[in-house]
Structure 1
Amino acid sequence: MTPVPSASRINLLRLSDPKIKTLHLTWFAFFLTFAVWFAHAPLLTAIQASLSLTDTQVKALLILNVAITIPARIVVGILVDKLGPRLIYSGLLLISGVLCLGFAFANTYTSLAIFRFLLGFVGAGFVIGIRLVSEWFPAHQVGTAEGIYGGWGNFGSAAASMTLPAIALAFGGDDGWRYAIALVGVLCGFYGLIFYRYARNTPKGSIYFKPKKSGAMTVSSWGALWALLIMNIPMYLALALLAWRLAPNGVNLISEASMYVFFAILVVLFIYQSYQTWDINAEHLREGVPELEKYSFKQVGILNIAYFATFGSELAVVSMLPLYFLQTFDSLTPVTAGLLASGFAFMNLMSRPMGGWFSDKYGRRRSLMIMIAGLSVGYFLMGLIDSHWWIPLAVIVTMACSFFVQAGEGAVFAMIPLIKRSMTGQIAGMAGAYGNVGAVVYLTILSFVTYSQFFYVIAASALIGFMAVYFMDNPKGHITEVMPDGTVHTIEVGHR
């Protein structure tokens, strides 16, 4: 593929350009959602001491923190396509700020657990910005812009880890952690108002395309409908796994009876969602979908698998990497191990934008295949690390692997806005949910295998993603959106 012209470059300092201003507004919103989502992580020791929590209760909080994110990304994807990102992002920031304050001043484990569970909803914020950024940037820049949005926003968790312990110490006393977390909540809520004031769904004069039906993703063929129903199953299985980990066989937060009740609820919800999906799609499929309104669901399924391997593995590895370094190298202290491990997440600042830029410049399919191949090799090499390795070399291998992981995430979301503009939120929501499914699956596997075997499993599963991406179609030409009045609009998605 011929590289695109230099006009694809994005000047981030040109704040007079409305699309650059929108990009900065949006990545900082995402930054705050991740800071709120993981504000508790660097302060867990203080929280445990303050409320006299057991190690089991702390582990349960970590599980609860991601439990609701899977369905939340699906729901938020539907809402953002229907109501627009400006309203939904502002509302999410305001609600998250209130929930963060509730967590900060919780005095019992029960209330702490409830607020942590509800705060998992903030993890859906990522989906909103994907739709908003795609409205403002043309096809030859959208990968780079989405990469900046995702990479810089994702850094919110690392920023929280770097700053909140010092802020808690500055406040002092046993409640220092409370004030540090509350400060993040106040900032998040306040920014929700700023975002509503200054953000806009589309550039002036542009149309915000909405799906004709809401409540479920619409598809273009009967085969795609069956594929959609099948692809919903892993999300429910991941939620069932989370319930199992909260039960007596895991952290023992809920009883075995409660676990089975939760399983039953999941079965009912799956049946209802499947019926809803079938009902919404069957009518227009029987009537026949006009050629202009069709899109390839194959692209959606492939990107779900790719994000399972990329973001799923990142979430899992970030969760265990400090302990892995500490137990592998006897010479490391907990502080040093944490600093070395933080490099994996720190790479987001550069890696995601690079993945998006590379995708814009050299082609979507080719770029994603290279990134997934690279992360597979990277995880294989991480599986070879042992106590005899030179520590700087182990860190270099880890950082190199991290680059391909996060660049792969950038390449996935360089492609998602180019499938069906009116459904970008829903497509991004499903892919994002699959990332969380990947994390749940990988962390569950980790509880049964050694660290080396864990990395080998990720490397092997990534090869499945590589083969899937091989069958992905490179977007070219234009996609079309048909308005209710029959007006046809074309949107450029690639260079011929």
Structure 2
Amino acid sequence: MAGSALATPSGGGLNLFNFAEQKIKMLHLTWFAFFLTFVIWFAHAPLLIHIKEALALTDAQIKALLILNVAMTIPARIVVGMLVDRYGPRIMYSLLLFISALLCIGFAFSQTYDALALFRFLLGFVGAGFVVGIRLVGEWFPHHQVGTAEGIYGGWGNFGSAAAAMTLPLLALSFGGPDGWRYAIGTVGVISAVYALVFYKYARNTPKGSMYFKPKKTGAMVVSSWGAMWGLILMNIPMHLALGMLAWRLSPAGVELFSTNMMYVLWGVLLLLFIVQTQQTWRVNVEHLRAGVPEADKYSFKQVGILNIAYFATFGSELAVVSMLPLYFLETFEGISAVKAGLLASGFAFMNLVSRPMGGWFSDKFGRRKSMLILIGGLAAGYFLMGLMDSHWWIPLAVLATMACSFFVQAGEGAVFAIVPLIKRSMTGQIAGMAGAYGNVGAVVYLTVLSYVSYSMFFYVIAASALVGLVAVMFLDDPKGHITEVGEDGTVHRINVG
């Protein structure tokens, strides 16, 4: 049996300014790639008023664009997760950045609403970039640093949405004229295309001398027990239901982008896709499950399911709350302007810079399961506190409660992805893709709930669902010892995970 431990047993923090270390260079190269994907993904948001005026759009059409922006991301994260495991993060991130750059430029210079809507739908693809970097960072950092590194990658990359909000209106203003917004968004596309080439030139899938492990089969997630296969099929259902909800919200029952008959057609397509996906899952897994799975290929799918539930509550609630919080402050507290409401709400997303890295660091330092329990428990308490807020609260106290809640939300996200690379190295992309997709499913569900209930009840619903996640995390196993991977030459490699 050949050994190829990719982690060292010693501890130690990360010096982010030590550019002599190749892994530090790789971390900076990767988080900036993710940062750019989020700038592209949310470039339209701060410029919606200009887009609305330029194309004479209705409020319903604007709402449809916001829904279309997240629709593609759910399936894209699943597909890109499979592709990154197969072809490696270097080529996949480069391709994703370049394709997204073309779509971004297409959106910027769309002359009709139909073109605008099409490009906005396709740009949901860029949200899959997150998955690629999770695999790459997991390859470069040992188990005692991987949580911190993944947290920095996720937190600093997520800040791209806030950076877009802060810089693109000024950039549009500097270009001037009625097409300033087009040039601002187009500039983002050009930067992304250039960085795709930079990333391809300098990124490497693994440290020198390390092996990049690939799954033995592609087309569906490979599992190591019959129970895991049925669990995988069940966990695919919510993703299709979430897409069905989005189709419903785009029908006359929502923003009237298309007819009721078209909604039924889309539902039929989603049902067909689920059947095909289930058949593919069976085809990929049935042979090796019947033959018996070698010990070196086994992993616990239970871990994957628990992390999906946790990310549903963490990232799902973040996406939902960030989109509604400015309006919440505006409508709850009398006498504040829309600009001030936006600034007060921005603290929730701004916390990503420190919260997500802290969640990863907690996981590295104090244990994976324990950190998850504390952070998701804090998340539940935070949302319960936000449910108690009303117009009688002192505004600084309300902002403080919001930021405290956001710390637990984003730190919880960091803790989730501190575990993802430690389950099955050759399938990290697929595991990250599924967990990431569940985050988007959570956002769809929470925002759908918001359309039927009050703001306070909305926060209570999130708190209650977080308690479900807390129960699930109680069954999480701390990664310990080693996981095994089999190289293409048949040699078995042991990777230290705790």
With normalisation by structure 2, the TM-score equals 0.98
Instruction: Decide which of 175, 182, 186 is 1:178's aligned counterpart.
Output: 182
1:63-462 counterparts in 2 under 5 A? 63-462=67-466
Q: Deviations over 1:181-209 (max 9, x none)?
A: 01111001110000000000000110000
| CA apart distance, 1:8 | 2.7
* AA aligned opposite 1:483: G
Q: Deviations over 1:104-158 (max 9, x none)?
A: 0000000000000000000000000000000000000000000000000000000
The runs of at least 4 consecutive aligned structure 1 residues that moved more than 3 Å come to 4-7
CA distance in 2, matches of 1:411, 1:378: 17
Q: Deviations over 1:257-304 (max 9, x none)?
A: 000000000011000000000010000000000112100000000000
For residue 466 of structure 1, give the secondary structure of its aligned residue in structure 2. Answer: helix
CA distance in 2, matches of 1:482, 1:32: 34
CA distance in 2, matches of 1:264, 1:293: 36
Instruction: Decide which of 486, 491, 497 is 1:493's aligned counterpart.
Output: 497
* AA aligned opposite 1:90: S
Q: Deviations over 1:40-62 (max 9, x none)?
A: 00000010011100000000000
Q: Deviations over 1:343-399 (max 9, x none)?
A: 100000000000000000000000011000001000000001101000000000000
Distance 1:5 1:361, change over 3 A: farther
Answer with 478-487 or 442-451: which moved more: 478-487
Structure 2: tracts of 5 or more residues without a match: 1-7
For residue 11 of structure 2, give the secondary structure of its aligned residue in structure 1. Answer: helix
For residue 7 of structure 1, give the secondary structure of its aligned residue in structure 2. Answer: coil
| CA apart distance, 1:483 | 1.9
For residue 8 of structure 1, give the secondary structure of its aligned residue in structure 2. Answer: coil
CA distance in 1, matches of 2:51, 2:11: 50
CA distance in 2, matches of 1:6, 1:47: 53
* AA aligned opposite 2:307: L
| CA apart distance, 1:485 | 2.8
For residue 257 of structure 2, give the secondary structure of its aligned residue in structure 1. Answer: coil
CA distance in 1, matches of 2:419, 2:384: 27
CA distance in 2, matches of 1:346, 1:6: 33
CA distance in 2, matches of 1:342, 1:98: 29
Match of 2:5 in 1: none
CA distance in 2, matches of 1:117, 1:438: 19
CA distance in 2, matches of 1:438, 1:84: 28
1:8-23 counterparts in 2 under 5 A? 8-23=12-27
CA distance in 2, matches of 1:347, 1:91: 30
Instruction: Decide which of 48, 52, 56 is 1:52's aligned counterpart.
Output: 56
CA distance in 2, matches of 1:103, 1:148: 30
* AA aligned opposite 2:155: G
| CA apart distance, 1:6 | 8.2
| CA apart distance, 1:5 | 9.3
| CA apart distance, 1:484 | 3.3
CA distance in 2, matches of 1:207, 1:484: 10
Instruction: Decide which of 12, 26, 32 is 1:28's aligned counterpart.
Output: 32
* AA aligned opposite 1:279: R
* Number of residue equivalences: 491
Q: Deviations over 1:420-477 (max 9, x none)?
A: 0000000000000000000000000000000000000000000000000000001100
| CA apart distance, 1:7 | 3.5
Q: Deviations over 1:141-181 (max 9, x none)?
A: 00000000000000000000001011111111111100110
For residue 473 of structure 1, give the secondary structure of its aligned residue in structure 2. Answer: coil
CA distance in 1, matches of 2:119, 2:283: 35
CA distance in 1, matches of 2:83, 2:9: 36
For residue 200 of structure 1, give the secondary structure of its aligned residue in structure 2. Answer: coil
Identity %: 75
CA distance in 2, matches of 1:60, 1:349: 30
CA distance in 1, matches of 2:187, 2:348: 26
For residue 490 of structure 1, give the secondary structure of its aligned residue in structure 2. Answer: strand
Instruction: Decide which of 451, 455, 469 is 2:473's aligned counterpart.
Output: 469
